[in-house]
Amino acid sequence: MSVNEVPQVALKIAFDMPRKKSEPSPFGQRLEALRKTRGLTQLQVAKALGTTQRTVSYYENQGGSPPAHVVITIAKLLHVSADELLGIKPSKIEHKKEDPERRRLWKRFQRMASLPERDQRAVIRLITSLVTSKGPRAAA
């Protein structure tokens, strides 16, 4: 081989980048469990945070931790303390066994928010009357 000759090297370019395999973080697992317990979707949480569903999925699945101000907002949204969300204190909700019937009813109740205000008040009056008629006085 002379000095001016350039050796030929076969290059192979991979078009598919390997995905980084990572385990969900304890924070992500807690966030997902609390979100599901509240009957919320990732999209609903994202809208409440003013972000995208992809960001919420990242927090749950890729081990990403949100900034402190976002942790506070998520905790308020899920009705837990930031300590419970971060795993400093055990969550009362996580210890409860998920009741599928309760979850189904909660999802139906959440759909009530799409009704006009007048219809919402009517549903609440109906529920109140049913609960009070089935209360302790009915058993006596």
CA separation for the pair 57, 34 (Å, rounded): 14
* CB atoms inside a 10 Å sphere around CB 68: 10
Query: Vertex 132, ends 126 and 97: CA angle to 5°?
Result: 90
Digitized pLDDT (tens) for each residue of the chain, 140 residues in all = 566 776 677 666 666 655 565 566 788 888 998 999 888 999 999 999 999 999 999 998 887 788 999 999 999 999 899 988 888 887 666 455 567 787 788 888 888 888 899 998 998 898 888 888 765 554 44
- Full-prediction pTM beyond 0.85? no
CA separation for the pair 75, 93 (Å, rounded): 13
Place of tokens 């192979």: 12
